[in-house]
Structure 1
Amino acid sequence: MKFSDILRTALHALRGNWMRSALTSLGVIIGIAAVIVMVSVGQGTQAEIDKLVSGLGSQRLDISPGAGRGGGGVRMSSGSFYTLKEGDVEAIRNEIPEVQYVAGALRGNTQIVFAENNASTSWQGVQADFFEINSWVIANGEGFDAQDYSSADKVVILGETVRRTLFGEDSGVGQTVRLGRVPFTVVGTLAPKGQGGFGQDQDDVMMVPLETARRRLMGSMGLPPGAVQQVALTVADAKDLSYVQGEVEALLRQRHKIAPGEEDDFNVRNISEIVATRTATTKLMSLLLGAVATISLIVGGIGIMNIMLVSVTERIREIGLRMAVGAGPGDVRRQFLAEAMLLSLGGGVLGIVIGVAGALLVGQFSELPVALNGQVIGLAAGFSIATGLFFGYYPARKASQLDPIEALRSQ
């Protein structure tokens, strides 16, 4: 028999009981759709993590205060005990040559007011390298100069969200605003960054020199001299990050006079290690989701095998008649195999359509990131064909091995 004859015969047989054919394909449809949706969500999540990595910087260390000791040996939380100093920042800069940029920072929240406009926002008191470490770019005006940092000048740089709230379309550079009760001059604005990896508005911020923050914005809090709440640094070569982390920890233990065996009064966070852990977790979840969807596809294939076996049993007399008029075992095997593959391929096409539509709907109406991948869609189509071939072979082989005489006698 020609291939066109086999295909036409298979289509005629499936159309004769179209409801059963449609229900048989349902397992493959659900399996293919599930594979596409779940893998798309997994890859979208991975892409979001990669975006987060680029935003945080894979060559960066963040140092924060650890738990210190108060009077009488009582433990105090990291939030209420300032263990890092500007001297630590200078020591890191001078004694660890692999460090490219390093800066200390203070932070807080306040009300900023201009004319009748006001906003409640966060501020950060920073040193010069802070802008390079966090990839902040000046959009209008200029950055702080050396005198601003040394003399605690009352100058401020606004993030895009704050600038837009206070000044609308105007840059605001040169205007005087009030932070709490203290007047500040706007010397520049920051280029927008948009939403961060955790959904926060990165532009809802303003920068002041570190000493200005200490004297003008935190003066009543009784900070220890030179205290900072955070130290951030970057290295020029990512390969040096682990080495630099060890050097920083050793240097700070020495400066803080921490004896061997005692707990550090600071925490060093290696962002690349955190990101690597999150990436591995996301990949594992993607594999798990893909495995669940693949199981659905296998169940659909078993359904095809089951129905094809039933079809062979129902059509024994037809098979015997075909063999009696000259059809060989190979012709019978190809016919039933074609029916199984048509069931699987039809389910695969519908599954791809539903899967793509489902992935787009998930991305539209939920917060889950979705990334459609043509390779995944092609793999799903190939998998549907392979499912029909694999699960249809046994029923086709069983049909081809029937004895024509016994088959004709069957009622």
Structure 2
Amino acid sequence: MRAILDTFSQVFRAIGANKLRSFLTMFGIAWGVASLLLLIGLGEGFRSGQRRSLAEVGDDVIMMFGGTIPALPNQHTGMRPYKLTLADAVAVQSGASHVRNVTALINRGDLKQVSEFSSSGGAVMGTQLSFPMIRHLPIAQGRFFDQDDLAQRRQVVILGQKNNALLFPGHPAIGAFITLNGYRFQVIGVAAKIGRGNNDGDNQKVYVPLTTMMELFPITGENVPEDAITSIQYQPITEKENEDAKADVHRIVAANHGFSPDLKDAWEEWDTIKSNQTVGMIFTAMDFFLGGVGIVTLALGAVGIVNIMLVTVQERTREIGLRKAIGATNRSIMTQFFLEGMILTGLSGFIGIAAAAALMAVLGSLLGNNQMGMDPPRLVPWSAAMAISILTLCGIVAGVYPASVAARLEPVEALRKE
């Protein structure tokens, strides 16, 4: 035990004897570790922020909109626009084997919303009962629509969080009335806040039953079907079946509108599953790149420690010769220099990890959880484990080689060195 304490005492005295050199060596390693962890932490913040933003839209949602059928070679017909219809949504619900939930909706942004206290704008959405199963719409007060609301085409409305504050400032909304382009609607529900930051688009929406919307505020225009809708939104049976689900829906809608489902330019849609996968691939590639940069940085730091330790061996040649002359073994000499390299590497790595964690905690408190597109950076366990593993390897390399050089010195030759 006493020998071990003496060895560590000699190690720390040797490190302290060259304070500036030791500081610069440790700073290089600490900087590399902190940079690696911070960059990966920022990347993971972006990744989780994008996932959360997509989750605010809904789980595994695919949205289809009306499009334009492109002109075909050797045919006299030109480009032809088409509108999705409620019949399309019904056909998808009954005929798409890879689809679990479907909702049709109408989106109108030109309807004036007025209460006895104020007026407001924002989108008016005609929705079905299945809408909350597909889209993220938490209800904070009251209720969502029921079957009777749609069957009887009731004039009832659910307010978004911001529209509630604008139309009923400081007053209860449930049971009160608003008008939409002069039609009187009763408020039966208020949605909770959706999204983060200042993006209030979803919070300024109001929702009415789709049947009521189609009766009072249908989509109109030249060659527009009576049951025209803005969008069909659906979910595949499982996330992995998104392409099969899209193929089913394309086949059904194309048959209803008289064109080939293979015409890629005819489809206007957004697949949130595919978007999420793309984002994941981008940030995984970034993690590999940043991890590679970090490995190279730490390897260069290890080379620096090897050089420093070799210089130290050169400077302390007489000391090594004297110690060996009075009985120090090769093992004890090698242990001392090996521990010096390991302690320099380990201590600087610990400082780098602690500094990165502290900086990410500060950034997290400054950014909060409401920044659009980004969560606060966080210390990723696998990156910390990788840093520790690389540091251990670097410490071994930085300690073993200089230590073996020191241990191989002959006492007589070492004592002759000036």
TM-score with structure 2 setting the length: 0.85
Query: After superposition, where does 1:39-58 map in structure 2 within 5 Å?
Result: 39-52=40-53, 54-58=55-59
Distance 1:392 1:102, change over 3 A: same
Work out which of the residue numbers 371, 381, 384 in structure 1 matches 2:378. 371
Counterpart in 2 of 1:231?
Answer: 232
Report the alpha carbon displacement of residue 92 of structure 1 after superposing the two structures with TM: 1.3
Counterpart in 2 of 1:206?
Answer: 206
Q: Find the aligned partners of 1:373 and 1:27 in 2 and give their Cα distance.
A: 21
SS at match of 1:84: coil
Indicate conservation of the 8 Å contact 1:59/1:234, yes or no.
Answer: yes
Report the alpha carbon displacement of residue 29 of structure 1 after superposing the two structures with TM: 0.7
Counterpart in 1 of 2:246?
Answer: 245
Q: Find the aligned partners of 2:239 and 2:197 in 1 and give their Cα distance.
A: 21
SS at match of 2:173: coil
CA-based RMSD: 3.0
Is 1:388 aligned to 2:395, yes or no?
A: yes
Identity, % of aligned pairs?
26
SS at match of 1:228: coil
Indicate conservation of the 8 Å contact 1:196/1:202, yes or no.
Answer: no
Counterpart in 2 of 1:102?
Answer: 102
Letter in 2 for 1:305: V
Counterpart in 1 of 2:416?
Answer: 409
Q: Find the aligned partners of 1:381 and 1:226 in 2 and give their Cα distance.
A: 63
Q: Find the aligned partners of 2:293 and 2:197 in 1 and give their Cα distance.
A: 28
Is 1:87 aligned to 2:94, yes or no?
A: no
Is 1:335 aligned to 2:324, yes or no?
A: no
Distance 1:69 1:380, change over 3 A: closer
| More off after superposition, 44-53 vs 335-344 | 44-53
Please, which runs of 5 or more residues in structure 1 have no aligned partner? none
Letter in 2 for 1:272: I
Q: Find the aligned partners of 2:196 and 2:304 in 1 and give their Cα distance.
A: 46
SS at match of 2:285: helix
SS at match of 2:141: strand
How many residues in Structure 1 have an aligned counterpart in Structure 2? 405
Indicate conservation of the 8 Å contact 1:305/1:395, yes or no.
Answer: yes
SS at match of 1:207: strand
Letter in 2 for 1:114: S
SS at match of 1:100: strand
Is 1:182 aligned to 2:189, yes or no?
A: no
1:18-67 residue CA offsets vs partner (Å, 9 max, x unmatched): 11110111111101111221222233333334434544455443212222
Letter in 2 for 1:386: L
Distance 1:94 1:293, change over 3 A: same
Query: After superposition, where does 1:252-271 map in structure 2 within 5 Å?
Result: 252-259=253-260, 262-263=263-264, 265-271=266-272
1:206-235 residue CA offsets vs partner (Å, 9 max, x unmatched): 112334434544667565422112101234
Indicate conservation of the 8 Å contact 1:344/1:388, yes or no.
Answer: yes
Report the alpha carbon displacement of residue 308 of structure 1 after superposing the two structures with TM: 1.1
Report the alpha carbon displacement of residue 152 of structure 1 after superposing the two structures with TM: 5.2
| More off after superposition, 87-96 vs 59-68 | 59-68
SS at match of 2:311: helix
| More off after superposition, 87-96 vs 369-378 | 369-378
SS at match of 1:225: coil
Indicate conservation of the 8 Å contact 1:82/1:228, yes or no.
Answer: no
Indicate conservation of the 8 Å contact 2:174/2:188, yes or no.
Answer: yes
Counterpart in 2 of 1:291?
Answer: 292
Report the alpha carbon displacement of residue 98 of structure 1 after superposing the two structures with TM: 5.0
Q: Find the aligned partners of 1:69 and 1:381 in 2 and give their Cα distance.
A: 57
| More off after superposition, 12-21 vs 214-223 | 214-223
Query: After superposition, where does 1:28-43 map in structure 2 within 5 Å?
Result: 28-43=29-44
Indicate conservation of the 8 Å contact 1:337/1:393, yes or no.
Answer: yes
Query: After superposition, where does 1:150-189 map in structure 2 within 5 Å?
Result: 153-179=154-180, 181-189=181-189
Report the alpha carbon displacement of residue 156 of structure 1 after superposing the two structures with TM: 1.7
SS at match of 1:244: helix
| More off after superposition, 170-179 vs 45-54 | 45-54
Counterpart in 1 of 2:28?
Answer: 27
Report the alpha carbon displacement of residue 8 of structure 1 after superposing the two structures with TM: 0.7
Q: Find the aligned partners of 1:200 and 1:116 in 2 and give their Cα distance.
A: 21
Indicate conservation of the 8 Å contact 1:125/1:209, yes or no.
Answer: yes
